[in-house]
């Protein structure tokens, strides 16, 4: 781990499991310190209730993105725009994207092209293109198994997100 590496954590709440947040944070902390912690989604919906319960306890900044049309990528677009702003203006050494959405493949590549560390966290079903675009990719299914063997309990959450997995370095 590079304990001095400053990381921006960007979570797509529509595509990540709230109950695994402690394991996600522990995994990210192996690679540096999170100086930016953002969670993207439509906070007016009940689907993100599990995330709402974790915002304050884990110092996460909710980033509101209304879902004007069902099935569109409004949250993805918001996260991508903010990531580009971070690349050009924030004092970070890397960005961690928590999602299994292959739409972030080009973003991961662009982050690497800026000589920044890029980490991904998502399910085993994540597109190999996104996985390979990251310097490190952790599968949430593995994080879940690791937490059980270490005695870490996933946080109680009523989130309806599907279970996920880890590709380690």
pLDDT per position as a tens digit, 43-94: 888 888 888 878 888 989 889 877 765 655 788 899 999 999 999 987 999 9
Residue ranges of alpha helices (H) inside the chain are 21-29, 49-52, 74-89, 105-113, 128-133, 140-150
Q: Residue 134 domain-assigned?
A: yes
Q: Residue 167 domain-assigned?
A: no
Distance CA 13, CA 15 (A): 5
Contact residues for 139 (Cβ-Cβ < 8 A; gap 6+): 121, 122, 123, 124, 126, 164, 165, 166, 167
Cα-to-chain-centroid distance, residue 4: 20
Pick from 131, 168, 161: nearest CA to 26: 168
Tokens of 136: 């490190």
Q: Residue 166 domain-assigned?
A: no
Q: Residue 30 domain-assigned?
A: yes
Range of the domain at 56: 6-150
Q: Residue 162 domain-assigned?
A: no
CATH number for the domain spanning 22: value is 3.40.50.1010
Average pLDDT over residues 100-118: 97
> What is the pTM assigned to this prediction?
0.82
Q: Residue 136 domain-assigned?
A: yes
Angle between helices 105-113 and 74-89 (to 10 degrees): 0
Average pLDDT over residues 129-142: 97
Q: Residue 120 domain-assigned?
A: yes
Please report where in the chains the tokens 């995330």 appear, as a residue: 51
Say how many domains are in the chain.
Answer: 1
Distance CA 122, CA 138 (A): 7
Q: Residue 14 domain-assigned?
A: yes
């Amino acid at each position: 781990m590079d304990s001095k590496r400053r990381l921006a954590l960007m979570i797509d709440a529509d595509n990540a499991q709230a109950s695994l947040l402690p394991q996600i944070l522990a995994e990210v902390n192996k690679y540096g310190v999170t100086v930016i912690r953002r969670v993207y989604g439509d906070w007016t919906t009940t689907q993100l209730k599990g995330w709402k319960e974790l915002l304050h306890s884990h110092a996460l900044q909710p980033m509101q993105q209304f879902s004007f049309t069902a099935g569109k990528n409004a949250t993805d677009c918001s996260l991508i725009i903010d990531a580009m702003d971070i690349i050009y203006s924030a004092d970070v050494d890397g960005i961690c994207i928590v999602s299994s959405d292959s739409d972030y493949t080009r973003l991961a590549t662009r982050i690497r092209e800026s000589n920044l560390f890029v980490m991904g966290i998502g399910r085993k079903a994540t597109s190999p293109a996104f996985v390979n675009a990251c310097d490190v990719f952790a599968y949430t299914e593995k994080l879940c198994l690791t937490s059980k063997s270490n005695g870490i309990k996933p946080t109680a959450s009523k989130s309806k997100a599907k279970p996920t997995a880890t590709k380690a370095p």
